[in-house]
């Protein structure tokens, strides 16, 4: 049946118009998707910067509190002559007794080594009257004549003495009178045994640290204080040596936009639990991702215009061009074809459609059709698109290979760094052992022994964490080696239980070896198998109760495998969380206040070791009756005759 000529033209026009409208919507959708992806990348950048700033704060706070644990601070301010009050000569210079000078010299050496390890401009020791007792500016110790007796006017003086024991006060930026540079400060009080706070320890850090932290490759990152001032800005040149007040030195957020109150928008967004906003600027739409910095009372913000989010995406431009070219070519070709002859055009269109339908999307082939008309143009356009897809696939494949190489190099680097961390830890543990044996300092007090024990125990925990990281990286790189030898499984279980004797006696946890076959011999890597058992037992200890805890270990033959299990009567693991247990860094509880610690590497290391030994591992858990971890070793590794 012959289709009416005018009807064919009408249908062609309708289809062409629909294609153009669809192209417009597709382009808009792709633009929105690219912008959403760019905003997500901005959020990731803000999160990383936020973590860096938090790490800076935590390290500074912990180091200050740690420094104050030096007993010399308390000893100095507990001296009768120190408690009696400051003594000055005729020229107003603070005078020190011989005992004060002796302790003060030791303190100054301690302060010098403390400051040398961190990016600190100045360190001060100031008493409750406002008198400095020690000051180190950059690398220079102040003489008695240079010590200031009127620090009570300093902005950090009163808050520092009001701060609780083992807490820190963070001082808003100010000009340092000694370095003439903008700084922010940390301070914490010295507390005597009776609770008196006779002085505080204080150090200043250059504000330029924050300017370095907000440095980004694209866009603009800045820090806003509660008054609407820019504390740091990646696109503003701060002259940190200018001795002027904050309202004159720090620019307002109006520097970002004269027409939009960024400060109000960001503050309202945080109040409403939002972390992104957009506003018009210079004919474009600017996107701002922000996050609070609660320790400083500031806000970290990252801003990019939509044009910048879109400009770097060449694939979007190519897609827009291809969509418009195909739409225009198909529209023009359809109209001209109908005008010339519907029958002559319909046949090649049908052939073109057949070829398109037969295409394998995983292996696109060029269409073998040649003609000088519009159908030929469509065919060329489609073949050109196929060529571009092939080129893009090759580029993507190359990028994936590069990423895999980069991932391997990253793991190798992480493995090297983790390995290097073990050496200083071994030295720390060695010194702790020597100190406990009274080889260095003679007879130690119970308080000193307790401190050394804490250092030793924490170092051992850190050593275990580093060893887990090293094993995880070794497994990830496929470089873990196994040493096979004959193993009496019953003896190995007894050895493992004996290794936990101290923990068992301390927490009154019952260990049971329920293995019935006492001479079951296998050929495997004993060290790695004990590592698996140790990790599973540590997990069990973490979840059982003291006094009533019970942990059972068993080895038995089953079909073509040797099966081990570690069973406990502790708190079970919910079913919905069991599927992720063997993933790296997985924690049952990801909160900061979680009850059960660890790196989340132990079970993933167990799985990696057993994969390497040709075995497998799984879990059965009940919230009431406890948890059992099973793992297997192939029976091919079993040795029937131990005497051979």
Per-residue pLDDT tens digits for 60-92: 888 888 888 899 999 999 999 999 999 999 999
Number of neighbouring beta carbons within 10 Å of residue 165: 12
CATH class, domain 57-209, is: alpha beta
The DSSP secondary-structure symbol of 145 reads G
Do 217-311 and 57-209 fall under one CATH topology? yes
Contact 263, 255 (CB under 8 A): no
Looking at the predicted structure, is the pLDDT value of residue 5 above 60?
A: no
The neighbouring-strand residues paired with 620 are 628
* DSSP-derived 3-state class of residue 244: coil
Contact 231, 223 (CB under 8 A): yes
Helix residue ranges per DSSP H, 341-440: 342-358, 374-436
The neighbouring-strand residues paired with 135 are 124
* Distance of alpha carbon 224 from alpha carbon 264, whole angstroms: 11
Handedness of CA 140, 145, 147, 151 (dihedral sign): negative
Contact 135, 125 (CB under 8 A): yes
To the question of domain 217-311 being in CATH 2.170.190.11, the answer is no
pLDDT in tens, 560-592: 789 999 999 998 999 888 888 888 777 765 544
Angle subtended at Cα 381 by Cα 18 and Cα 319, rounded to the nearest 5 degrees? 65
pLDDT category, 409, cuts 50, 70, 90?
A: low
pLDDT category, 3, cuts 50, 70, 90?
A: very low
* Distance of alpha carbon 450 from alpha carbon 487, whole angstroms: 40
* Distance of alpha carbon 582 from alpha carbon 608, whole angstroms: 9
Of 18-27, 47-56, 531-540, minimum mean pLDDT range: 18-27
The neighbouring-strand residues paired with 566 are 553, 629
pLDDT top residue among 24 and 266: 266
Non-local CB neighbours of 76 within 8 Å, separated by 6+ positions:
82, 100, 103, 104, 107, 133
Of all helices (H) and strands (E), which one includes residue 24?
Answer: helix 5-67
Q: Please identify which residue in the block is written with the tokens 């040596």.
A: 241
pLDDT top residue among 410 and 576: 576
Percent of the chain's residues with pLDDT above 70 = 76
Fold observed for domain 485-639: Heat Shock Protein 90 (3.30.565)
Q: How far is CA 182 from CA 140, 231, 505, in A?
A: 19, 11, 57
Contact 65, 166 (CB under 8 A): yes
For residue 464, the model assigns a pLDDT of 66
Region 203-214: mean pLDDT is 90
pLDDT in tens, 218-261: 999 999 998 889 999 998 887 755 556 777 788 888 888 877 78
Non-local CB neighbours of 78 within 8 Å, separated by 6+ positions:
192, 193
Of 259-263, 471-475, 526-530, 611-615, minimum mean pLDDT range: 471-475
Looking at the predicted structure, is the pLDDT value of residue 546 above 70?
A: yes
Q: What predicted TM-score, i.e. pTM, was given to this entire model?
A: 0.47
For residue 402, the model assigns a pLDDT of 67
The neighbouring-strand residues paired with 175 are 182
pLDDT top residue among 476 and 642: 476
Of 66-75, 296-305, 324-333, 635-644, minimum mean pLDDT range: 635-644
Domain boundaries defined on the chain: 57-209, 217-311, 485-639
Region 312-333: mean pLDDT is 57
Region 452-477: mean pLDDT is 69
């Amino acid at each position: 049946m012959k289709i009416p000529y005018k009807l064919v033209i009408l249908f062609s026009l309708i289809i062409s118009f629909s294609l153009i409208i669809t192209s417009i919507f597709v382009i808009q959708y792709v633009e929105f998707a690219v912008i959403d992806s760019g905003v997500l990348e901005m959020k990731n950048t803000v999160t990383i910067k936020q973590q860096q700033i938090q790490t800076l704060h935590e390290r500074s706070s912990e180091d200050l509190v740690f420094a104050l644990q030096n007993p010399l601070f308390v000893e100095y301010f507990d001296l009768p002559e120190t408690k009696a009050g400051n003594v000055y000569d005729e020229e107003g210079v603070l005078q020190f007794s011989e005992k004060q000078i002796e302790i003060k010299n030791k303190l100054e050496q301690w302060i010098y080594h403390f400051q040398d390890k961190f990016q600190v401009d100045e360190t001060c020791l100031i008493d409750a009257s406002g008198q400095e007792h020690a000051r180190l500016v950059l690398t220079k110790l102040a003489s008695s004549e240079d010590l200031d007796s009127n620090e009570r006017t300093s902005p950090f003086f009163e808050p520092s003495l009001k701060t609780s024991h083992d807490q820190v006060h963070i001082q808003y930026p100010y000009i340092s009178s000694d370095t003439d540079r903008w700084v922010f400060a940390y301070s914490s009080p010295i507390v005597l045994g009776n609770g008196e706070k006779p002085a505080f320890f204080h150090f200043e850090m250059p504000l330029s640290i924050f300017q370095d932290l907000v440095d980004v490759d694209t866009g603009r990152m800045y820090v806003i204080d509660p008054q609407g001032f820019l504390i740091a800005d990646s696109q503003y040149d701060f002259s940190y040596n200018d001795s002027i007040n904050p309202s004159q030195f720090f620019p307002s957020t109006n520097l970002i936009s004269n027409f939009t109150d960024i400060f109000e928008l960001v503050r309202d967004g945080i109040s409403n639990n939002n972390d992104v906003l957009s506003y018009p600027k210079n004919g474009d739409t600017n996107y701002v991702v922000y996050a609070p910095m609660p320790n400083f009372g500031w806000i970290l913000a990252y801003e990019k215009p939509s044009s910048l989010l879109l400009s770097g995406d060449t694939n979007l431009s190519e897609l827009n061009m291809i969509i418009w070219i195909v739409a225009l070519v198909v529209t023009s070709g359809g109209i001209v074809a109908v005008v010339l002859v519907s029958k002559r055009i319909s046949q090649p269109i049908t052939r073109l459609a057949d070829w398109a339908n037969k295409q394998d999307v995983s292996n696109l082939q060029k269409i073998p059709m040649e003609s000088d008309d519009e159908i030929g143009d469509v065919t060329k356009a489609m073949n050109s698109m196929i060529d571009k897809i092939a080129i893009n696939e090759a580029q993507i494949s190359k990028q994936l290979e590069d990423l895999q190489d980069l991932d391997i190099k990253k793991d190798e680097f992480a493995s090297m760094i983790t390995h290097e961390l073990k050496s200083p830890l071994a030295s720390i543990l060695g010194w702790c052992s020597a100190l406990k044996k009274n080889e260095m300092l003679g007879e130690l007090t119970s308080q000193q022994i307790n401190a050394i024990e804490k250092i030793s125990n924490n170092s051992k925990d850190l050593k275990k964490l580093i060893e887990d990281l090293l094993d995880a990286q070794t497994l990830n790189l496929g470089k873990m080696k196994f040493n096979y030898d004959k193993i009496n499984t019953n003896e190995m279980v007894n050895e493992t239980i004996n290794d936990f004797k101290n923990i068992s006696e301390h927490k009154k946890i019952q260990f049971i070896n329920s293995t019935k076959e006492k001479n079951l011999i296998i050929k495997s890597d004993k060290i790695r198998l004990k590592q698996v058992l140790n990790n599973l037992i540590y997990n069990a200890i973490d979840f059982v109760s003291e006094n009533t805890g019970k942990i059972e270990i068993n080895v038995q033959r089953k079909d073509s495998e040797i099966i081990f299990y570690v069973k406990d009567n502790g708190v079970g693991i919910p079913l919905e969380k069991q599927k992720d247990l063997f993933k790296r860094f997985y924690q049952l509880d990801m909160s900061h206040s979680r009850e059960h610690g660890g790196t989340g590497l132990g079970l993933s290391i167990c799985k990696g070791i057993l994969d390497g030994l040709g075995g497998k591992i799984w879990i059965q858990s009940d919230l009431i009756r406890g948890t059992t971890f099973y793992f297997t070793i192939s029976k091919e590794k079993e040795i029937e005759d131990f005497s051979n």
